[in-house]
Every structure is written in C-alpha cells, then in structure tokens.
Amino acid sequence: MSRVAIVGVGQTRYSRESGRSEWQLAVEAISNALTDCGIEPADVDGLVRYSYDNVDEAMIVRSFGLKLRYYSQTGFGGLGAPATLAHAYAAVASGQARVVVCYRSLNGRSTTRYGRAERSLGTGGGDLIATGDRAPSGAFAGPYGMLSPGQVMAMWARRYQWEAGLTEDELAAATGRIAVDQRAYANANPDAVMGGRPLDQTGYLAGRVIATPLRVFDLALETDGAAALVVTDAAIGPRPAVWIRSAIQGLIPYAESIATYGELRNGPTYRSLGSRLLQDAAVRPADLVSASIYDATSVSVLLGLEGYGIYPVNRAARAVIEHGIGPESPLPVNTSGGHLSEAYVHGMNLVIEAVRQVRGESMNQIPRSGPVLVASGPSGLVLTP
C-alpha cells in the first residue's frame, strides 16, 4: 500500500467578519499548516483547491514563491473537502508531487453568504435571472423561490421523516440532539464561533423556523476563515502522521452538492460508495472511533450515518435520539462542533478535526485510537494513526 500522510494542518481565526481578504486568509492558513509540520514553502510542489475558491493557484504560487509540478481543483462545493485530500493522495502516491497543500478560504459571512441568494441570481431588465439547471437558484428552482441550500435540505429532511416513519416531533428530537451535541463540543473548543453559547433541546425548539422542518440551529453557520492541510509521502515534522487509508470521490446522476432529483443520501448508490470506502481501508463501521460528517444541515448527519453504514437505512434518527453523537455515543460525530457550531469553512475545518482526533489533539479527544471517517455525501476519506 502506498504511504501518504497528512502531516500539517493550519487555520485562521474563525469569525463573522475577518476584515481581511480571502487571499490574506489563505496565506495565513497555509503558513500555519507549513509551520505545523516544519516544511518550507520551497518544498511544496503541489496545490489542490476548490473550484469555488476565489483564491486561485497563481495567487498562492506568487505569495510563497512556489514552483509547482502539480495542481488540481475539486468541484461541487462541500463535496470537495475530502476530495482535495483524495487528489493530494493520488498525486503523492503516483509521484506527480511530493508535498501537496490543500486549502479553502472564504469570507462566508462578511462577503459571500451561502444562506442568501444574492450571489446566485443575475439581473436583467429589472428581473432576477435564475441560471443553470441546478438547485437551489437554477432555472427550474429559482422562479419557485427555491433559493438556498437550507430549503433543499428541508425537503430531504421531510422525505427522510416520511421514509423513516417518524413524526415531526421525533425528527426534531433527532436533529435537535445533533445540534445540541455539536454545540456541547463547540463549547469546549476555543476556536468555535459558537463556543460561549450553550444550547439545549428547549433552546433548539425555540429557534426560528427557516424552512419546515428545519430551524436556525439545523443550519450551518456562515463564517469568515481559511483552513489548509499538508500531504506528503512520509511522517515528517513534530506531529504524529495521519495516514490516508482510502479515499473516494463519487459522482452519480443528480448527486451534485445540493441535489433535488436523485436518491436521498442514504440511498443504495451512496451506501455502495460508502461501503467501498471502508472496504478499501479494511475497516468496518464498528471500528471507527469518530467521524466528520458534512453538516450543511443537521439532517445531512442522519443521512451520512446511514450512507456510510453506521446505522441501517431509516434507523439513524432513533439511534441518535437514544444515544446522541456526543463523546459517549457509539460514534462521536463532528467533535469540533462542526459546521453547525464551530465554523463553516466548507468542510475543511471538519477534515482538520478528523486529523486532530487521529493525532490525539482534539479539544474533545475521544480516548481510543483507530480509524476516523471523513464523509461529505459521495466523497470521503478514512484516516488512521
């Protein structure tokens, strides 16, 4: 098996208003990640970024004086988070690069708010133009007022409620437990935007309804910040190496990031991708010590727990009502607070938390050593010590 490791992680402060450009944030996060592993910029020969990122490769190459021999991009928003590491894994394993930096930088609160529609609607002749054929905001969605990711995921939540045979109150008990448990993790994480703000089920239920059945606490934060990771072919630097054991970057019809036309993310194709990811790492779901599951909304966690085989289809909600996703649960999830309560760095902060769990450095460290899952819809990673 090829030996490829994540050796460095770095981030900026997570805030609602950075007061700095996304370029400045990216440079700070990458500098911190290189310092974390003691690698000099001169040794970096690969970059992977999100196609959505406003900070392109040339800006990073200039900022650090890099001489690259490899760069690539991952598409479809948050699916790109584990996928950036999948690209780095492939590039290093094939010898196309020796040291690859993956990054994401966004002023997601002060500039481009993913919970708002202004970024996605064009204007013309006094009208707003809904373009493309994707949801939300595309031509087949925008004219009906489907304009935000939260609205699409509210429809996932309702369908999941029906298919799992839950009442609306039972669904809220499960999604509320996810929001409450992730907030408790955030309360112990000094980097978390919501660190000082406890949340209980009563507070969750009192949250403003955004799109039924989802409330404000079911939705990802909007955050200014950047995060970066360094990947190479050896255990370099002062920190424990985190080995990439398997990676998957799936794409099936209508499975782009916020899909309305295909199967739910606990459907048979997703389960088959999830099971392949674990098989490739020779890991069973019960072996996992913790997981980072992309939580654009709380319901994504329920669907991810089923899509990656942690619970059988339509069973995650009842299991979460009973056990939660906290430190004592069968599989602790999003132990930094996740997108709901730490920060929304488009999945990259979730990858960093998975690395910290494997290293034994999390602010909510799970006291067992073993494989950690990173899952974002049809893209995922298995990491091990």
Partner 1 sequence: MTSPIPPRVVPEESELTAPYWASAMLGRVALQRCLDCGLVWHPPAPSCPAGAAHRIEWFEASGRGRLYSYTVVEHPVHPAVIGALPYLLALVDLDEGPRLICNLVSTDPSDLSADLPVTLSAGPAAGGLTLPVARLDESAR
Residues with a known catalytic role = 294, 344
Cα 250 vs. chain centroid, distance in angstroms?
A: 15
Q: What share of the chain is helix, strand, coil (3-state, %, to 5)?
A: 35, 20, 45
Closest contact distance (angstroms) between CB of 137 and partner 1 is 9
Q: Are 25 and 108 in contact (CB under 8 A)?
A: no
Among the listed residues 260, 254, 222, the one whose alpha carbon sits nearest the alpha carbon of residue 346? 222
Closest contact distance (angstroms) between CB of 314 and partner 1 is 13
Does the bond joining 136 to the residue before it have cis omega, within 30 degrees of 0?
yes
Binding site for partner 1 (CB under 8 A): 115-118, 121-123, 126-133, 135, 139-148, 150-151, 154-156, 158-159, 162-163, 208-214, 216, 253, 260-261
Closest contact distance (angstroms) between CB of 352 and partner 1 is 29
Select 149 or 338, whichever has its Cβ closest to partner 1.
149
User: How many angstroms separate the CA atoms of 311 and 53, rounded?
Assistant: 34
Select 93 or 121, whichever has its Cβ closest to partner 1.
121
Would strands 379-384 and 242-249 be described as parallel, antiparallel, or unpaired? antiparallel
Residue type (1 letter), 309:
G
Strands (E), 87-158: 99-107, 121-124, 127-130
Closest contact distance (angstroms) between CB of 219 and partner 1 is 9
Select 213 or 225, whichever has its Cβ closest to partner 1.
213
Residues 6+ apart with CB under 8 A from 356: 9, 336, 362, 363, 365
Select 214 or 230, whichever has its Cβ closest to partner 1.
214
Closest contact distance (angstroms) between CB of 263 and partner 1 is 11
Closest contact distance (angstroms) between CB of 307 and partner 1 is 18
3-state secondary structure of 10: strand
Select 97 or 154, whichever has its Cβ closest to partner 1.
154
Residue type (1 letter), 18:
S
Angle at which helices 149-163 and 298-307 pack, to 10 degrees?
Answer: 50
CA dihedral in degrees (325, 328, 334, 335; nearest 10)? 150
Q: 């002023």: which residue's tokens? A: 107
Select 162 or 284, whichever has its Cβ closest to partner 1.
162
